Structure 1
Amino acid sequence: MIIHQINSKIYWEFKVKQAEKIIEQAVNIFRDNLALAFSGGKDSLVVLHIALKIKPDIKVVFNNTTVEFPETIKFVRQLAKEWNINLYTTIPEKHFLKAVKERGWANHENRWCCNPYKKEPALKFFKENRIKAEITGTIRTESIYRRSLAPFKEFKDGFIRVNPIYDWNDKEVWEYIKQHELPYNPLYDLKYRRIGCWCCPLNGITHYKRLSKTHPKLYFFLTRFRPLHPSVRILEKSFFNLL
């Protein structure tokens, strides 16, 4: 039992040190042409905490898709103030719900929203600020694509994505947060696993069942788009009789 605890402690300390070294290498290579993507979620929170110890003035980019949870907006702003973060916020040209009226909701076959509301605002910021590499909080366990992650990933255009905690899991992320007593997004205490766009149709029934209880005003607002939103239609038919 003691040996197991010793091994676990050594392994954990190694993973934290490895994350620090990955960020240090990125800072040494890219200097001021480096940015850190912060979503307000637990994974990027850990990476942000580590990065600020290495480069306190690192450019931190928060992508406001116009449909972020109110708690997320408040948390990001409050943390930026308390930690003295060099924060930049990107915003798309058109509000998401206005685009929905024109194009309909995205789905698994047609995820039209990701480019104009996530990728393009970030790419615009990178170009304007000559950013050549981005530090992310992506962890390997999140999807099939993410299981193939490496510390540094280069894309066809030469852009580099840096993944300091690529081999961490959720338990280890929470352990770091607990160990360092970090403030975190209150949405996690409401049992949300993902804290991205509150009205994403890809979230499924469970998300919207929870939303109707924790954020009834947002859910009621969303019912105005009921004919366009598959998850809301199914939810009201299967679980609720709200209207």
Structure 2
Amino acid sequence: MSAIALYARATAGFDERVAHAVAVLQSAATEHAGRIVQATSLGAEDMVITDLIARHALPIAVATLETGQLHAETVALIPRIEQRYGLAVEVFKPAQESVIHFVKTHGDKAMYESIDLRKQCCAIRKLEPLARMLAGASAWVTGLRREQSDTRAVVPFSEPDDKGRIKFNPLADWSWADVWHYIATHDVPFNPLHDEFMPSIGCAPCTRAIAVGEPFRAGRWWWEDEKAKECGLHVKDAPVSANSEIGAPR
């Protein structure tokens, strides 16, 4: 069954939530003119945000992290965005020497061996490139939603990050049904892996399909304790050095 058929539902207040998300983005773009970027994961929520940016001609740059471990289906969305919306997507990759050193030292399956090693891998492949992506920016936009997990249940529409930038979460109050109703209504491109019961998609070794009744992010780092399921991108004070370990999320 397709993700649209499975999840898309029109619910009360949808139009108001869309209008509010647009207002958040418009205000953010005005307040941080020339210094704001959408850090897209290329997931369903972020594809909605990219569509809103393009649909309303908002001056918000679009960028993504290509970790070197993404599914081919995820990477294929980059040219689709550029072709569909006429937007350039800036791609940030990890430092190759850091990746080579990590794999040579710990092996290509290190993420399964310990939380510390998995988070070192995330630091190299995600946090260090993110730091470069956001260098010079005063604000960034994410697809975080309160419904995604218990650790995200109080996500605000905007919040300061640990570097003094403002992080905007325009879909904070959207449901999963809202996301897919918007995608269906506006024919937004999306990752076909969502049709294979992968609501949350990250690097290929760290993503699996979920079963009926499992939490939204159960398919991410499924071998770890539920409280550890963040890579550090949305954890304040997470170190970005390719050689440092990431502390437990708060």
Q: Considering the TM-score relative to the shorter chain, is it more than 0.5?
A: yes
What is the match of residue 156 of structure 1? 162
Residue type matched to 1:40 in 2?
A: L
Name stretches of at least 5 consecutive residues in structure 1 with no aligned partner: 1-6, 208-229, 232-243
- Aligned counterpart, 1:86: 88
1:72 matched to which residue of 2? 74
SS at match of 1:35: strand
Identify the match of residue 102 of structure 1 among 100, 105, 108.
105
Does 2:132 align with 1:124?
A: yes
Alpha-carbon deviation of 1:57?
A: 4.7
Q: Structure 2-normalised TM-score? A: 0.72
In 2, are the aligned partners of 1:57 and 1:86 still within 8 Å (CA)? no
TM-score under structure 1 length normalisation: 0.74
What residue number does 2:217 align with? none
Q: Which amino acid aligns with 2:102?
A: A
What amino acid maps onto 1:123 in structure 2? A
Q: Which runs of 4+ in 1 moved over 6 A?
A: none
CA contact (8 A) 2:80 2:189 kept: no
Matched residues in 2 for 1:20 and 1:89: separation? 25
Q: Where do 5+ consecutive residues of structure 2 fail to align? A: 1-9, 211-221, 224-250
2:162 and 2:76 mapped to 1: Cα distance? Answer: 36
Q: Distance in 1 between matches of 2:11 and 2:59?
A: 33
Q: Verify the 8 A CA contact 2:29 2:59 in the aligned structure 1.
A: no
Q: 2:7 maps to which residue?
A: none
Q: Is the 8 A contact 2:36 2:140 kept in 1?
A: yes
Shift of 1:153: 0.8
* Aligned residue number for residue 40 of structure 1: 42
Q: Once the two structures are aligned, what percentage of the paired residues are identical?
A: 24
RMSD, matched Cα: 2.5
Displacement after TM superposition at 1:33 (Å): 0.2
Structure 2 residue 180 is matched with structure 1 residue 136: no
Summarize deviations over 1:121-179 as a string: whole Å, max 9, x none.
Answer: 0111221xx21111111111112221111011102321111000011121110011111
The correspondence for 1:191, drawn from 197, 202, 208, is: 197
- SS of aligned partner of 1:145: helix
Determine which structure has more spread, i.e. the larger CA radius of gyration. 1
CA contact (8 A) 2:62 2:90 kept: yes
Match of 1:176 among 179, 182, 188: 182
Q: CA offset at residue 184 of structure 1? A: 1.3
**Cα contact 2:143–2:171 (8 A) shared by 1:** yes
